[in-house]
């Protein structure tokens, strides 16, 4: 059965529909790529799953429970972690404290000392161990992006929502990031991975969903999806959406 199931998720801002009846299902331990042109509603969908945007209609179920009306912190505690497209580290905390906050308040609510130990482990994993005591202002873009991932891991989630977490990085950093994301799957976490760069996603995704103008356009294995004429059209801009 699915770990995450979104059915008919709709989100309107004023009268404008950003999402119209979108469906999405994620099973345990799979990487699902979520792609689509700019403004297709990817980040909005992610925010409705994380709970920071209330839906206008539809349901969000996670691990068999209806979380449609649950506030974001309870979803985090239930096992849904997210990253932000533009990294948003807590500015008055050190790198390790940023990560420790997640494990203090996350799924297993650890004590402070334990949380700091756990933070160091996670930072080791993502390759930021050397910066553990640094202030976040001293980090480069790629370090900030990886700090976002580290915080998400520290929540010890069953599902991680990654929002363009490799955008703006150079090829070797992207390769490191893709390895890191694959390793999340290897230890049983499911991943929903938004990326503008379709090639990067399709290289590691088990399945892919394509959104266009707030609607489901296609889903399936990466090869099927990339061969789909509608997808090509949506990306290259054909007569349909002109």
Partner 1 sequence: MSVSSLALAQTLLNGALLGCLFGSIALGLSVKWGHLGVADFFHLSLTLLGAYLTYSLVTEQLWDPLLTLLVTVPVFFVVGVAVQWLFLVLRAEPFTTLLITFALFIVTESVASMVWSPDLLNLRPRLSDGFTTSLRFPEPLPQLAVQPVDLLALVCAVLMVGVSAWALRRTRAGRAVQAMRQDADIARTLGVRVVPITLAVSGLAASSAAVAGMVVSLRMPLSPTLPLQWIGIVVVATMLGGLGRPLGALVAAVVLMMIQNAWSLWFPPQWAPAVTFGVLFLFLAAQPVRRFVSEATASRRLA
Partner 2 sequence: MTPFRDLSLWRQFGAVVLCALLAMALVPSFGSDFVIAFGFQFVTWIGLALSWSLFSGNSGYASFGHGVFFGIGVYATAAVLRHTDAPFAVALVVAGLVAAALALVVGIAVFSSPRFAGDLFGMITLAMAFIVVAVVSNLAFLDGGTGVFVRELAADTWIGESTGHQFVVGTAIAAATAGVAIATSTTRWGAALRSIRDDEAVAESLGVPTYRYKVLTFAASAGLAGLAGAPQAVFLGYVEVGAVFTLNIPLLVIMMTILGGITRWWGPLIGAASVVLVREALLDIGSPELSQIILGLALVVVIALMPHGISGAIPRRRPTATGTTTGTTTATTATTGGAR
Footprint of partner 2 (CB under 8 A)? 50-52, 71-74, 76-77, 81-82, 84, 88-94, 96-97, 100-102, 104-107, 109, 112-113, 115-116, 133-138, 151, 155
CA 68 to chain CA mean position, Å: 18
The two three-digit tokens of residue 90, written as one number: 């807590």
Interaction of residue 8 with partner 1, rule CB under 8 A:
no
Interaction of residue 17 with partner 1, rule CB under 8 A:
yes
**CB of 39: closest distance to partner 1 in angstroms?**
13
Cβ–Cβ < 8 Å for 197, 229: no
**CB of 40: closest distance to partner 1 in angstroms?**
18
**CB of 48: closest distance to partner 1 in angstroms?**
13
Q: Which is nearer to partner 1, 54 or 238 (CB)?
A: 54
User: To the nearest 5 percent, what fractions of the chain are helix, strand and coil?
Assistant: 40, 25, 35
CA distances from 166 to 111, 130, 158 (A): 31, 21, 21
Q: Which is nearer to partner 2, 18 or 53 (CB)?
A: 53
Cβ–Cβ < 8 Å for 158, 28: yes
**CB of 40: closest distance to partner 2 in angstroms?**
22
**CB of 17: closest distance to partner 1 in angstroms?**
7
Q: Is 179 exposed, middle or buried (0-12, 13-18, 19+ CB in 10 A)?
A: exposed
* Cα end-to-end distance, the chain, whole Å: 39
Interaction of residue 215 with partner 1, rule CB under 8 A:
no
- The stretch near partner 1 (CB under 8 A) out of 12-20, 95-103, 123-131, 148-156 is 12-20
**CB of 4: closest distance to partner 2 in angstroms?**
16
The two three-digit tokens of residue 168, written as one number: 């703006």
x-marked contacts with partner 1 along 18-57 as a string, rule CB under 8 A: ------------------------------------x-xx
- Given 12, 59, 88, 207, the residue binding partner 1 (CB under 8 A): 12
28: phi then psi, degrees, rounded to nearest 5: -60, 140
H or E stretch at 192: strand 190-194
CA 199 to chain CA mean position, Å: 17
Give dist(CA 184, CA 191) in Å, integer. 8
Partner touching 239 among partner 1, partner 2, none, CB below 5 to 8 Å by kind: none
Contact residues for partner 1, defined by CB under 8 A: 10, 12, 14-15, 17, 54, 56-57
């Amino acid at each position: 059965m699915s770990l995450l199931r979104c059915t008919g998720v709709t989100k309107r801002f004023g009268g404008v529909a950003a999402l119209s009846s979108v469906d999405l299902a994620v099973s345990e331990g799979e990487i699902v790529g979520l792609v689509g042109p700019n403004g297709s509603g990817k980040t909005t969908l992610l925010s409705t799953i994380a709970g920071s945007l209330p839906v206008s209609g539809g349901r969000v179920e996670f691990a068999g429970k209806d979380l449609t009306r649950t506030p974001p912190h309870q979803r985090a505690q239930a096992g849904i972690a997210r990253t932000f497209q533009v990294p948003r580290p807590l500015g008055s905390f050190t790198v390790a404290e940023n990560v420790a906050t997640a494990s203090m308040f996350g799924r297993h609510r650890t004590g402070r000392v334990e949380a700091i130990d756990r933070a160091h482990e996670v930072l080791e994993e993502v390759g930021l161990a050397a910066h553990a005591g640094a202030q976040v202002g001293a980090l480069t873009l790629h370090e900030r992006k990886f700090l976002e991932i580290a915080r998400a891991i520290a929540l010890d989630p069953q599902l991680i929502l990654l929002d363009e977490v490799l955008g703006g990085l150079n090829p070797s950093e992207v390769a490191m990031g893709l390895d890191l994301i694959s390793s999340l799957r290897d230890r049983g976490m499911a991943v929903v991975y938004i990326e503008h760069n379709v090639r990067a996603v399709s290289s590691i995704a088990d399945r892919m969903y394509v959104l266009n103008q707030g609607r489901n356009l296609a889903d399936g294995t990466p090869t099927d999806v990339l061969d789909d004429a509608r997808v090509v059209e949506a990306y290259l801009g054909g007569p349909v959406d002109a």
